[in-house]
Structure 1
Amino acid sequence: MKEFVKGRYRVRLAASAGDVQAAQALRHRAFFGAEGLDCDRFDGACDHVLVEHDTGRLAGCFRIFLMRDGSQLCESYSAQYYDLGALGGFGGRMLEMGRFCTDPALSDPDILRVAWAALTRYVDEKTVQMLIGCASFAGASAAPYLDSFAILKAHHAAPEHWRPKARAPLVYDFKGKILEAPDLKRGVAQMPPLLRSYLAMGAWVSDHAVIDKDMGTLHVFMGLEVGAIPATRIKLLRALAA
């Protein structure tokens, strides 16, 4: 992906160890509310996308792991938490997007839009056929998100032939106690913005959330087949990426 500018933001791939460390520092502030570095063994296998404000400040970042097909899923971040065996037979290129975050001091929705523009460019350049990742709900308790989880179960469940199975020791199973009449407005509002964006394009999700006490979050696996994205949405994304 070549560097490009959209409005007040410049987007580029990390080109040095210093760039990656800057992304790790922003991730730590965003995820833990403190200074430090959020890093793991997956960073080295990923491309890191930086969204920089025209002042030079790092406004957002995410990492992407490109796979030739489903046989490489075992190398992905998501495979720590989910049994992805059903997706192993997927024959096209796959891309895992992860660690998306924005500067906690900024509240500009354009950062997410620019991130989608960058992702669209990368997907087109690499002829990616499926996007995967984990959407994170703040906190390790499912109680605040019962409306959201009920909506995900009823309207966005993964098709059986791709459905991830539980691997993590602690999960909240959507097949268990779930609301029969969720508050739709509240449920949608509580979903992470990235997840809402995926769902608007036709993404599906796992039938359970992983309880990650170390990160203090609940992870929901999401998958999006590029070929299933509505034509009108594709047109909008490519216009954004132009």
Structure 2
Amino acid sequence: MATAVLLSKGRYRARLAQSAEDISAAQALRTQAFGTQQLDSDAFDGRCCHVLVEDMRTDARIVCCFRMMRMDHGREVGRSYSAQFYDLSSLEGFNGRMVEMGRFCIHPDCSDPDILRVAWGAMTAYVDQNGVEMLFGCSSFAGTETEQYLDAFAMLKHRHLAPKRWLPRVKAPDVFRFATRLRRRPDLKQAMLRMPPLLRTYLMMGGWVSDHAVVDRDMNTLHVFTGLEIRAIPPARKRLLRAVAG
């Protein structure tokens, strides 16, 4: 079967998974990256397409992966992974094509920033090829204790809350309502240091978040719902992404 290559830049290649073996390799990387005791696998894997970023200088070793679930409009948002944790009824009125991006991870031994750039370049190529108008997903902070992330959450409150028309409502039983609980002004340097790299990238492109974080003890994370309307990405940022994707 032909390799569905989305992007090839320098030593890295991003492609769509084409076999059960590819998906198993992605699940193995997720298990290692997330530090779970059991194989990181769920029913959503069979409903998504999976992107693998490979290092071509090390026999195509997988260094990054994520999965995508495509929806033709907001009325399908209830079948997303995120809908388990958030009331997303406000997004049901979104008329454009949507993609949920999930299970994003980079191999714990890899720190090359080009890996993240190639992953976003691959996502950009997919968005352009499929006419996607919104990306969304859960952006995770490691651990379930909020104290070390208070500046980050304060920054999210003051600068990056979702527009009211799209704002997710509380559904999960255990949440941290940072938008109502925090009164502090954020230390911006500390906020950015504590912000997960994937979420930081979303925010740089104009992304927004829910007003609360879900405490996910199964995954040992705190996560916020994150959305990004493609038309809201600043033109300069779009040019950079498409330069990578091209």
TM-score (norm 1): 0.97
Query: 1:154-173 counterparts in 2 under 5 A?
Result: 154-173=158-177
Identify the residue that residue 115 of structure 1 maps to in structure 2.
119
Are 2:95 and 1:91 equivalent residues in the alignment?
yes
Structure 1 residue 142, shift from structure 2 partner: 1.0
Offset, 1:11: 1.1
Structure 2 residues without counterparts, runs of 5 or longer? none
Higher mean alpha-carbon deviation, 96-105 vs 174-183, is at: 174-183
> Please, which of 20, 29, 32 is the counterpart of residue 29 of structure 1?
32
Per-residue deviation, residues 124-159 of structure 1 (Å, max 9, x unmatched): 000000010110000011111110000000000101
Aligned pairs for 1:1-242 (under 5 A) are 2-3=4-5, 4-32=7-35, 36-54=38-56, 55=58, 56-242=60-246
- Give deviations 1:157-188, integer Å, cap 9, x for gaps: 10111000010000000233314222110011
Amino acid at match of 1:173: R
1:72 alignment partner, SS class: helix
C-alpha RMSD of the superposition: 1.2
CA distance in 1, matches of 2:11, 2:61: 11
- Count of residue pairs brought into register by the alignment: 241
Whole-Å separation in 2 of the counterparts to 1:89 and 1:168:
22
Q: CA separation in 1, counterparts of 2:71 and 2:212?
A: 24
| Separation in 1, partners of 2:236, 2:179 | 33
Mapped to 1, the partners of 2:110 and 2:133 lie a distance apart of 32
